[in-house]
Amino acid sequence: MKIKLKDGSVKAYSKSMRAIDIAMDISEGLGRAACAAEVNGEIVDLRTMIDSDVNLNIITAKDPEGLRVIRHTASHVMAEAVKRLFPEAKVTIGPAIEDGFYYDFDSKPFSREDLDAIEAEMAKIIKEGHEITRFTLPRDEAIKFMQDRNEPYKVELIEDLPEGAEISFYDQGGFVDLCAGPHLMSVKGVKAFKLTSSSMAYWRGDSSKARLQRIYGSAFDKKDDLKAYLTRLEEAGMRDHNRLGREMEIFTTVDVIGQGLPLIMPKGTKIIQKLQRWIEDLEDYEWGYVRTRTPFMAKSNLYKLSDHWFHYKDGMFVLNDDLMSEEEAIEDQKLYSDPAYAMKNASDKVYLDRNGREVMAMRPMTCPFQYFVYKAKQHSYRDLPYRMGETSTLFRNEDSGEMHGLTRVRQFTISEGHLVCTPEQIADEFKNCVKLAKYTLTTLGLEGDVWYRMSKWDPKNPDKYLGTAEDWDRVQGAMREILDDIGLEYTEADGEAAFYGPKLDIQAKNVYGKEDTMITIQLDMFLSERYDMYYIDENGDKRRPYIIHRTSMGCYERTLAWLIEHYAGKLPTWLCPEQVRILPISDKYSDYAKKVFKEFRAHNVDVTVDSRPEKIGFKIREARLNRIPYMVVVGADEEKNRTVSVRSRFAGDEGVKPLDEFINALDEEIRTKAIREEIKQEESKS
* Residue range 374-385: mean pLDDT, rounded: 96
Position with higher pLDDT, 13 vs 91: 91
Q: Residue 133 belongs to what H/E stretch? A: strand 133-136
In this structure, of 236-245, 307-316, 428-437, 638-647, the range with the lowest mean pLDDT score is: 307-316
Average pLDDT over the chain, rounded to an integer? 92
Residue/partner pairs of 199-206 with CB below 8 Å, 24 or more apart = 200/109, 200/400, 200/401, 201/104, 201/401, 202/399, 202/400, 202/401, 203/92, 203/104, 203/106, 203/153, 205/399, 205/401, 205/402, 206/399
* Residue range 405-419: mean pLDDT, rounded: 95
Q: What is the pLDDT of residue 355?
A: 78
Q: Terminus-to-terminus CA distance in the chain, angstroms? A: 52
Q: What is the pLDDT of residue 335?
A: 80
Q: What is the pLDDT of residue 683?
A: 53
Q: What is the pLDDT of residue 581?
A: 97
* Residue range 18-43: mean pLDDT, rounded: 89
* Residue 331 reports pLDDT greater than 90: no
Q: What is the pLDDT of residue 487?
A: 95
Residue pLDDT, tens place only, 141-170 = 999 999 999 999 999 999 999 888 889 999
Beta-carbon count within 10 A of 7 CB: 6
User: Is the Cβ–Cβ distance between 102 and 215 less than 8 Å?
Assistant: yes
* Residue range 504-520: mean pLDDT, rounded: 92
Q: What is the pLDDT of residue 401?
A: 67
* Residue 340 reports pLDDT greater than 90: no
Residue pLDDT, tens place only, 235-263 = 988 999 999 999 999 999 998 998 899 99
* Residue 444 reports pLDDT greater than 90: yes
Q: What is the pLDDT of residue 679?
A: 65
Grade residue 684 by pLDDT with cuts at 50, 70 and 90: low
Beta-carbon count within 10 A of 231 CB: 10
* Residue range 483-488: mean pLDDT, rounded: 95
* Residue 507 reports pLDDT greater than 90: yes
* Residue range 296-305: mean pLDDT, rounded: 91
**Percent of the chain residues topping a pLDDT of 70:** 98
* Residue range 28-54: mean pLDDT, rounded: 89
Give the C-alpha separation, 288 to 277, whole Å: 16
Residue pLDDT, tens place only, 517-545 = 999 999 998 889 888 999 999 999 999 99
User: Is the Cβ–Cβ distance between 420 and 533 less than 8 Å?
Assistant: yes
